[in-house]
Structures are given as structure tokens and as C-alpha cells.
Amino acid sequence: MDMAEQKISTPLSISEAISWYRQNKALYDRLGQTAAGLIEEALEEAHIPYHSILWRTKSVESYEKKALTRGFLRPREQIHDMSGIRVITFVQSEANAVCRTVQKIFHIAEVEDKSAQRGNSFGYRSTHFLAYLRKQQLKEPKDYDLLNLPFEIQVRTLLQHAWAEIEHDRNYKFEGTLPPDLQRRFAMLAAVLELSDREFDAIAKAIDEYVASIKAQTAKGILDIPINTTSLREYLLTRFKELIPLPLSPRFATRRDAEEIVRELHGMGIDTLAKLDNIIPPDFVEKAQKHLELSTLAAIVRDILIIHDADAYFRVTRQEHSQPLTPDSLQLFKAYNLDSELIKLKEAAVTPEAFWKEIGEAKG
């Protein structure tokens, strides 16, 4: 076919394609939703962390614009991103794990690594897949019309996503090519984001290694480890595994809650896991199972500290005690022959209101 014939046939093929897409757009809505659901299910099953899974169906207007601006002669055969899924992860190692999972669960026709294409330059980085569903993934025969329909999957980190959004919309401020000095600054920013992405990934891996080492050491009874929120959490999950999931919730309620209990431990001179382990009553798990219906990691530690030395605990937490003791905890104290009413009075005396009232009376 010569150029004259191409020019004659192009408007007609685009018009036909747009009409076809308008009639079938709902089909691609179902395709995107189905594929996104399969990805979410697979990542949850594989315990792969991710920030978000987004999907969209290209509007008829966008489809028409792409067909016209790209000069496609056969839009129905050449445009494949009517359904698009975007998986955003926190760090690159997680993005790599998502890519491996995507390749396992779908039929992959094409893989496009934008990072590899850029070589030594900085800028947009993401991995794109052109994919198709597998028949065994469709539970109902009515969904078989989704077979052989292409969809695009993009996998990127949060920082890569931020850069892509900035780069995509930069013409909001400047039409066409940016001036050389702004291009240079733009490139420098891209380099900084890429470096930050790598460092976040390295730190995430180092944290995983640290957590693994804490688990290994505590499992062996090696507890001469400084207490921080991470080491304390891993120790408690090992030490009180019999209490999980109930009555113990296997996490701190909030980051503030975790940091507060670490300060309370340090305030009582307990700065290693070994020192904490030494003050836990031998029958604590048995009695906790009997008296606690629901608790948290921080509350468990507070109960232990009060059982160990209530006077010292309330003395060192005068300004910071912010989590009121529960009726369950008071029942647990009774099991250790502590006066729960006296403990309630001690607690009331160290609330922030009582503390500042005491300070005011001292100044008066």
C-alpha cells in the first residue's frame, strides 16, 4: 500500500475503531477490574507489600486522541492500553517482586523496562507489561469474553510515580521544550529522586535484615540487645506467641504508643531485652490468658512494669502516662495480689492534669 492509499484509509479505520471502542468500553471496564483484583489477590497471598493498585479504562475521547496523534492506521490492532493497571510499591525490591508475580499469573506478550531504555540518563522509570488473562482465572463462562483482550500493567515505586506525574504535567507551566537551565535542573532532580529511591530500598533491606537477626537471636535466648521499638516488637511476638492473636494484638496500637513504652522502659532502667525478660513473672502467660480478653503489645509491657514495681512505674511516668489502665489489667493485678484500687489512685495522681496541678500548687 502506497502513501496515498494510507492517507485515504486512515480516517475511515479510525472512525470505525472509535465506534467499535464506544460499543465495547464496558468490556474493558470489566477487564481492568478483574485483572486488578487478580493482582491484589496474588500480592496478598505472596505477602508482597504495596502502596496501591489502581486501574482505569481509557475514555473514548482519549482513545480517539491517541489514534489521531499517533497516526495509527489500524487502531484496533495497535492500541493496547484501553485497560490499564498501575501497581505502586514503596521501594524497588518490592516493585521487582510485583513484576515477578505479574509474569507468573498472566500471559505476558511484551515487557518494557523504561529504566533500561534510559541507559545513563535520568527520568521516567517504570516497568510496563502487555498482558492477557488466562482462561483458568475466569470463574464464570460469562467472563470468557475477556480472553484475548490486552491490558497494560505499570509497576513503579512511589518516588518513580511522583516523578512520572511531575514530568507528565510539566507543560502546565511550560509549553514545549524547557529552557536549557531548567532542563538541567529537571535532570538533577530526577537524579536525586533516583538516588533517594535506591537509598530507601537499601534501608528497607537493612531493616529486614535487622528484624531477621533479632528473631534469630531471641529464638536462641540471646537477649543482650538494646531495646528500641523494632527489637521490642520482635521480642514480644516471640516471647508471648501463645497470646496471639487473642488476647494480644500482634502490633503496637500506634507509633507514638511504641515510642512511649520504650521511654517508660528506659526510665525504669530497663534498656535491654534481657533486663525486661528478667522481670516477667514465670506464670505471666498463664494468668494473662485467664484475665485479659484483649490487649496490645504496649499494654502488656505496662502491666509487667506495674506488676514488677508499681511505685517506680508511676514515678517515672508522671508526665507521660497517657494510656489508662483497663479493667482487664486491674483484674490481672489482683491475680498477683496487688491492690487494684491503690493502683487506680496512683494512676490518677500521675495524669497530666494532676501533674500540672501539683506544679501550680508548688509555685503558689
Phi/psi region, residue 221 (left: phi>0; alpha: psi -120 to 50; beta: rest), is: left
DSSP 8-state secondary structure symbol assigned to residue 248: B
User: CA 193, CA 87: separation in Å to the nearest integer?
Assistant: 19
Q: What is the pLDDT of residue 124?
A: 62
HSE of 316, CA atoms in CB hemisphere, 13 A: 18
Residue 215 lies in a domain: no
Cα 260 off chain centre by: 23
User: Could you tell me if 96 and 189 lie in one domain?
Assistant: yes
What is the chain's pLDDT, residue by residue, as a tens digit (364 residues)? Answer: 333 334 334 566 888 999 999 999 999 999 999 999 999 999 999 999 999 999 999 999 999 999 888 878 888 889 999 999 999 999 999 999 999 999 999 999 999 986 655 444 445 678 999 999 999 999 888 889 999 999 999 999 999 998 888 776 655 555 567 788 887 887 788 888 889 999 999 999 999 999 999 999 998 999 999 999 999 999 999 899 888 876 777 778 788 889 999 999 999 999 999 999 999 999 999 999 999 888 888 999 999 999 999 989 988 876 565 667 889 999 999 999 999 888 888 887 766 554 444 445 545 5
User: Could you tell me if 89 and 233 lie in one domain?
Assistant: no
User: Could you tell me if 150 and 255 lie in one domain?
Assistant: no
Q: Which of 152, 183, 199 is the last residue of a domain?
A: 199
What sign has the CA pseudo-torsion 109, 114, 115, 117? positive
Cα 205 off chain centre by: 15
DSSP 8-state secondary structure symbol assigned to residue 169: T
Looking at the structure of the chain, the number of domains it has is 2
Q: Which of 164, 199, 234 is the last residue of a domain?
A: 199
User: Could you tell me if 21 and 147 lie in one domain?
Assistant: yes
Q: What is the pLDDT of residue 111?
A: 95
User: CA 121, CA 184: separation in Å to the nearest integer?
Assistant: 12
Q: Which of 199, 232, 255 is the last residue of a domain?
A: 199
Nearest 5°: phi and psi at 227?
-85, 125
| DSSP state string for 167-181 | HHTGGGT-SSSPPHH
User: CA 190, CA 330: separation in Å to the nearest integer?
Assistant: 56
User: Could you tell me if 23 and 160 lie in one domain?
Assistant: yes
User: Could you tell me if 42 and 190 lie in one domain?
Assistant: yes
User: Could you tell me if 275 and 158 lie in one domain?
Assistant: no
Nearest 5°: phi and psi at 123?
155, -145
List, in order, residues 6 or more apart from 247 with CB less than 8 Å away.
288, 289, 292, 293, 294, 295, 328
SS (H, E, C) 204-273: HHHHHHHHHHHHHHHHCCCCCCECCHHHHHHHHHHHCHHHCCCCECCCCCCHHHHHHHHHHHHHCCCCEH
**Cβ–Cβ under 8 Å, residues 154 and 85:** yes
Residue 194 lies in a domain: yes
Cα 235 off chain centre by: 23
Alpha helix ranges (H) inside 46-83 = 60-69, 75-78
User: Could you tell me if 194 and 247 lie in one domain?
Assistant: no
User: Could you tell me if 88 and 138 lie in one domain?
Assistant: yes
**Cβ–Cβ under 8 Å, residues 49 and 90:** yes
Residue 209 lies in a domain: no
User: Could you tell me if 187 and 67 lie in one domain?
Assistant: yes
User: Could you tell me if 57 and 191 lie in one domain?
Assistant: yes
Residue 52 forms beta bridges with which residues? 88
The grid coordinates of residue 125 equal 522509570
Phi/psi region, residue 123 (left: phi>0; alpha: psi -120 to 50; beta: rest), is: left
Residue 207 lies in a domain: no
Q: What is the pLDDT of residue 170?
A: 55
Residue 208 lies in a domain: no
Q: What is the pLDDT of residue 145?
A: 93
Domain that holds residue 64: 3-199
Residue 152 lies in a domain: yes
User: CA 243, CA 235: separation in Å to the nearest integer?
Assistant: 13
Residue 25: CATH number of its domain: 3.30.460.10
Residue 212 lies in a domain: no
User: CA 277, CA 19: separation in Å to the nearest integer?
Assistant: 72
User: Could you tell me if 286 and 337 lie in one domain?
Assistant: yes
Residue 213 lies in a domain: no
Nearest-CA neighbor of 319 among 363, 267, 271, 272?
A: 267
Q: What is the pLDDT of residue 303?
A: 94
